[in-house]
Amino acid sequence: MRHGKKVNHLSRQTGHRKSMLANMACSLIEHKRIITTVAKAKALKQFVEPLVTKSKEDTTHNRRVVFAYLRNKYGVTELFREVAAKVGDRPGGYTRIIKMGNRLGDNADMAMIELVDFNELYNGGKKEEKKGRTRRAKKSTETTIAPKATAQVVEEVEPIVDEAATVVEEVVETPAAEVETPEFVEDAPAAAEVEETPEVVEEAPAVTEVEESAESVEEVPAVAEVEQTPTDETPEAPATDEESKEEEA
């Protein structure tokens, strides 16, 4: 039974267990991920995360405390130089355990333990920028950048002000041109009326011609009647002359 058993001894003596965890922690810091059993990965998580928290503040005392656990100066240098700069803004949870299935030989549960900030697949391939670890550095950078930024803004605003002034001058001059435009608009209908009047004048003779043609058509029957009447009367005239002669004879 595990009553009161808070630490997994991993079936090893104290010295052996500490040396094994120190070597595994150095390998994790150097390669950023390692594959081991689930029990060892959980024990390593409890062992290495307090050391990563210590590395956030780079002091001689913290370096000596971390070196007492890792026992490897190259691992300590890597932890304070690269890992601390990468996990500076993370409040905890620096490692992740991913189970890999069972091992073929003894069917042990296998897992991969890795540093969270160094996995580009889970983070979407985004590269985080390195940020300063002290407040003094942030204040100094802000004070140096602010005057340059204001100068650039002033230089960018000046051309815009000049363009606005030119636009205002153009807007003031436009009403004079707008006043002249209605004259051309009023003249246009007059020209259209002048062009339309000749068409009306030209159409008038056409109407008179039609009337004259109608009158001529109406007069033709009258002439025929006039011509027909004498023809009817002419035969009668000689008859009267002959009769008159006979009578005289």
- Return the pLDDT at 120: 82
Indicate the pLDDT class of residue 247, thresholds 50, 70 and 90: low
- Nearest CA-CA partner of 82 in 56, 119, 114: 56
What's the pLDDT band for 121 if we cut at 50, 70, 90?
confident
**Band of residue 166 on the pLDDT scale cut at 50, 70, 90:** confident
Q: What whole-number distance in Å separates Cα of residue 212 and Cα of residue 207?
A: 9
Compute CA distances 63 → 47, 71, 91, 153, whole Å. 16, 11, 20, 45
Per-residue pLDDT at 181 exceeds 60: no
Q: Tens of pLDDT along 188-242?
A: 444 444 455 444 444 444 444 545 554 544 444 444 444 444 444 444 545 566 6
pLDDT at 49: 96
Q: Judging by beta carbons within 10 Å of its beta carbon (0-12, 13-18, 19+), is residue 38 exposed, middle or buried?
A: middle
pLDDT band at 164, cuts 50/70/90?
confident
Domains, the chain: 14-133 (3.90.1030.10)
- The answer to pTM > 0.85 is no
pLDDT at residue 100 above 90? yes
pLDDT tops 70 at residue 180: no
Q: What pLDDT does 134 receive? A: 62
Specify the pLDDT at position 23. 97
How would residue 148 be classed by pLDDT, with cut points 50, 70 and 90? low
